Amino acid sequence: MGEGLRGVREPGAGGPGRASDRASIRRTNLGLVLRLLRDRGPRSRARIATDTGLPRPTVTNLVAELVGLRLVREGHSQRDGSVGRPGLAVEIDGHAVCGLGLEITADYVTAVALSLRGETLYERRIPLDVRALGPTAVLEETAELIREADAAVTAAGARLVGAALGAPGNVDIATGQVGYAPNIGWRDIAALAELRRRLGRAAPRLHLENDAKLAAIAEYVIASAADIHDLISVTGGIGVGGGIVSGGQLLRGARGFAGEIGHMPLAPGGRRCNCGRRGCWETMVGLGALLRHAADPHDRVHDASLDVASRLADLRARADARDARTLAALERLADDLSLGVALLADVLNPRAVVLGGYFPVFADHLLDRVREGVARRVMAPDAGGCDIVPSTLGLNAPARGGAHLALDAVYQDPGAVAG
């Protein structure tokens, strides 16, 4: 049902349940130490031994191996207790390895490469009319982005250990196939197989995931540091997707399709959705709805060949200039957002709802009205303790989540991936 995420996985939970030989015990313990440093921060060897229950000589050897793999390094001095000499803290290094996240959406293809410490080594977004181009051309562009990112990572002295592609709609993570993505017009597309064919032997380890779930992973990396372990990430674009984290677990559902919140039928008999039904939530709060209410069809903000960030900046400037039509469109958007968010809060009772995608561009025009509408609609007092916050990750949250997902293999088996 769920998938462990950064910050909540108990040390060693991702490794083999029972080690059958010394090699597998060592692999398990290397991952145990590395995940501990990721989830709980720098600490001395003595404290690592205490936290893991491993003997100190074993910890010393494991840390030495991780240093040799360039996955950890020694930092500042740290005293454990009130007596004794302070020890050098061990912390994540990870400049040697990098994960790549990619996203295909209706308006663009984007890529972000992150080091193990979360530093950005490569970032690029290419405006594309994905539906008009079709999967063949779009996957060729994506393959070229992977080649370009790999070259940039190599030039920075690191190695790409994997890549995760986010796509909208229903995806099959086991087969790497995009089953049905109505907003880009894809059905039964073997995305990963096509990328591997184009990249050949140079292809990194590839994963496929729903884009909104990747955004939720990226948001949870931040939220878990604030001790928030129940959240919903609502990503606004041409479509609207959701990623649900409950008790630190990414919820997939019985067959992996949990989170299709954009297709909640909140306006029966309303506008026809790309999925074929009427009145889906994304027909009310997707980017297309805002553009339709804010500008005439010939306006440049409708031009999908232009970078979506520049088009959003144009609308933002109009809102700041108190353009009546733009402000009215944003008020309508806030009301319709509050309707869906309140429903999600009633059903799932999250600690936070993170508004991502294009919504944060207009956060100061939306948040007060959304919060008021949610508080009015939710049955529980104080909206059930749910806070509604804008994402700080911009349009690249799904790609960043993909990079974190690609890096997870390092934490599971450091020696095999980074060696």
CA distance 70 to 60: 15
Name the pTM for this structure. 0.88
Taking CA atoms, 201 is separated from 149, 164, 195, 204, 419, in Å, by 16, 17, 11, 8, 19
Instruction: State the residue for tokens 């790409």.
Output: 160
Domain with CATH 1.10.10.10 in the chain: 2-92
CA distance 189 to 318: 39
Residue type, 108: Y
- CB distance 374 to 388 below 8 Å: yes
Pick the CATH number of 227-394 from 3.40.50.300, 3.30.2320.50, 3.30.420.40, 3.30.230.70: 3.30.420.40
The 10 Å Cβ neighbour count of residue 179 is 16
Which of left, alpha, beta for 320 (phi over 0: left; psi -120 to 50: alpha)?
Answer: alpha
321 phi/psi in degrees, rounded to 5: -85, 5
Instruction: State the residue for tokens 């993505």.
Output: 181
Which of left, alpha, beta for 4 (phi over 0: left; psi -120 to 50: alpha)?
Answer: beta
Residues with Cβ < 8 Å from 229, sequence gap 6 or more? 8, 223, 245, 247, 248, 351
CA distance 366 to 411: 39
pLDDT tens for the chain, residues 1 to 419 = 344 454 433 323 343 334 457 788 888 999 999 999 988 889 999 999 999 999 999 999 999 999 999 999 987 655 555 444 556 899 999 789 999 999 999 999 999 999 998 999 999 999 999 999 999 999 999 999 999 999 999 999 999 999 999 999 999 999 999 999 999 999 999 999 999 999 999 899 999 999 999 999 999 999 998 999 999 999 999 999 999 999 999 999 888 889 999 999 999 889 999 999 999 999 999 999 999 999 999 999 999 889 999 999 999 999 999 999 999 999 999 999 999 999 999 999 999 999 999 999 999 999 999 999 999 999 999 999 999 999 999 999 999 999 999 999 999 899 877 66
CA distance 81 to 102: 45
The 10 Å Cβ neighbour count of residue 136 is 10
Domain 97-214+398-418: CATH superfamily is: ATPase, nucleotide binding domain (3.30.420.40)
Nearest to 305 by CA among 131, 140, 107: 107
392, burial (CB in 10 Å: exposed 0-12, middle 13-18, buried 19+):
exposed
The pLDDT value given to residue 368: 97
Taking CA atoms, 82 is separated from 46, 78, 86, 87, 139, in Å, by 14, 11, 10, 12, 58
CA distance 419 to 355: 39
Residue type, 385: G
Residue type, 371: R
Residues with Cβ < 8 Å from 408, sequence gap 6 or more? 14
Report which secondary-structure segment, H or E, holds 167.
strand 159-167
Domain with CATH 3.30.420.40 in the chain: 97-214+398-418, 227-394
87 phi/psi in degrees, rounded to 5: -105, 160
DSSP 168: S
Residues with Cβ < 8 Å from 287, sequence gap 6 or more? 107, 236, 237, 238, 308, 357, 358
* 290 CA to centre of own chain: 24
2-92 is a CATH 3.40.50.2300 domain = no
Q: Give the dihedral of Cα atoms 42, 43, 44, 45; nearest 10 deg.
A: -90
Nearest to 386 by CA among 217, 211, 244: 244
Residues with Cβ < 8 Å from 273, sequence gap 6 or more? 182, 263, 279, 280, 282, 283
**Alpha helical stretches, state H, 176-307:** 191-199, 211-223, 282-285, 287-294
The 10 Å Cβ neighbour count of residue 74 is 16
Residues with Cβ < 8 Å from 417, sequence gap 6 or more? 97, 161, 162, 409, 410
Structure tokens at 241: 């997707």
